[in-house]
Amino acid sequence: MVIKVFLASSSGSTAIKKKQQDVVGFLEALKIDYTQLDIASNEVNRQWMRENVPGEKKPTNGIPLPPQIFNEEMYCGDYDTFFNAKEDNAVYEFLGLTPPPESKRQVAEEEYQDEEDEVGDDKGEDNHLASEDEEELQKLEDEEEEQGSEEAED
pLDDT tens digit string along 88-118? 999 999 999 999 887 655 555 556 566 666 6
Query: Which architecture characterizes domain 3-95 according to CATH?
Result: 3-Layer(aba) Sandwich (3.40)
Q: What does the pLDDT read at residue 65?
A: 95
Q: Cα torsion for 76, 153, 89, 95, to the nearest 10°? A: 20
* Distance in angstroms (rounded) separating the CA atoms of residues 53 and 73: 10
Does this model's pTM top 0.75?
no
Contact, 74 vs 82, CB < 8 A? no
